[in-house]
Amino acid sequence: MFSGTRIEFEKRTVTKMIGFYCKKLHHSKGVLCAECAALLEYSHKRLDKCVYQNDKPTCSKCTIHCYKPDRRQQIRDVMRYSQPRMLLRRPDLVILHTIEGLFNKKKKR
Ligand SMILES: [Zn+2]
């Protein structure tokens, strides 16, 4: 299982999601297109500045709220596209994410 900080985990997830999205929709080969590369860089910067850091809720719940409107729409499209498709390819990654989401919900109550 992944061992590292929560932010590192989020970075890995977003990197995989954008990579998958770009490969499928923009037909990039190994390297992200300029648009996706900029989105990825932006996402990582947001994570570095995230006020929650390691107490952060899962990205779909939290990350989006601190994004600028145009970037928010971009990352939403990426998640909407990649999440269900990656579930088939990388069940470990997405299931881990879902489980963490459940735990976070329980903690708040
Ligand atoms: Zn792209």
53-109 pLDDT, tens digit each: 556 555 545 555 678 889 989 998 998 898 888 776 655 655 556 555 655 554 444
Q: What is the mean pLDDT of residues 1-20?
A: 81
Report yes or no on 109 lying in a domain.
no
Q: What is the pLDDT of residue 84?
A: 82
Range of the domain at 71: 6-104
Report yes or no on 35 lying in a domain.
yes
Q: What is the pLDDT of residue 39?
A: 95
CA 108 to ligand 1 center in whole angstroms: 36
Report yes or no on 90 lying in a domain.
yes
In order of 25, 30, 77, the CA distances from 63 in angstroms are: 23, 25, 14
Per-residue three-class SS string for 53-99:
HHHCCCHHHHHHHHCCHHHHHHHHHHHHHHHHHHHHHCHHHHHHHHH
Higher-scoring residue by pLDDT: 32, 69: 32
For residue 60, what are its two tokens? 């779909």
Q: Which residues surround ligand 1, an ion (CB under 5 A)?
A: 22, 26, 33, 36
Q: What is the pLDDT of residue 27?
A: 95
Report yes or no on 1 lying in a domain.
no
CA 56 to ligand 1 center in whole angstroms: 27
Report yes or no on 72 lying in a domain.
yes
Provide the domain count of the chain. 1
Report yes or no on 25 lying in a domain.
yes
Report yes or no on 100 lying in a domain.
yes
**Cα–Cα distance for residue pair 36/22, rounded to 1 Å:** 7
